[in-house]
Amino acid sequence: MTFSTTMTTDFRPAMIRRLATLLLLLLPLVACAQSSSSAAPVEGEDYAVINAQPWQPQKGKIEVVEVFAYWCPHCAEFEPHVQTWQAKLPKDVKFSYLSAAFESEDNFSRAFFAAEQLGVLRKTHAALFHAVHDSGTVPKSRPSVDELASFYSQQGVDAAKLKAAMASPAVDAKMEKARTFLLSVNLQGTPSLIINGKYRVDGKSPDDTLKIADYLIAKERAAAGKQP
């Protein structure tokens, strides 16, 4: 059976009309999706207002703190993203890491503060994530002081100095201060970004988290009367 020329000629305009109608119906949905993807972050969904105090405030600086845990796989995934991001931050933004030190027996947190005290945090931070999550040379769960000292010695840090710093009153004080801060920001999980002690970012992915942080940094800059 073959279709006549008249039937084919009638069929095509009808299909075109149907397609045009379908496109007209879809356009509002596309516009809505685009609007949603570019919409400003929403309080209660993308971030929380916490009204705490900054971790280590500096006059004229907007503070961004990443609360993390070395055993946390999401923190390990986030680390390369945040490294790239923080390298591009404006000069009026102060970025710092903070180990989620809820327990005084948390050796990961003690090692973090000890490394900070000894001035070796910058060169050991990413390496410890690698040792825990990639090479497996440091246990994920409750590593001993000796196991952590061994890791740091491989990074060129004196093991005896690291152990002494971990047990020092200065680190005890930092552990207590960190716990107080974490309770004040109502930490929900790691990694988490805290902006100026006022906002906790609740992003759904590394990129989403950093976009929300950019928005809140701009919000703080505007509140202080600074130029974008």
Please name the residues in contact with 98: beta carbons below 8 A apart, sequence gap of 6 or more. 55, 65, 66, 67, 68, 178, 181, 182
Give this prediction's pTM.
0.81
Q: Which alpha helices (DSSP H) does 5-72 contain, by range? A: 5-37
Contact 112, 120 (CB under 8 A): no
pLDDT higher than 60, residue 26? no
Q: Which fold, 47-223?
A: Glutaredoxin (3.40.30)
Q: How crowded is residue 154: how many other Cβ atoms within 10 Å of its Cβ? A: 13
Percent of the chain past pLDDT 70, that is, above it, reads 82
pLDDT for 25: 53
Residue 10: how many other CB atoms lie within 10 Å: 10
Average pLDDT over residues 18-27: 52
pLDDT of residue 39: 85
Residue type, 23: L
If you count them, how many residues does the chain have?
228
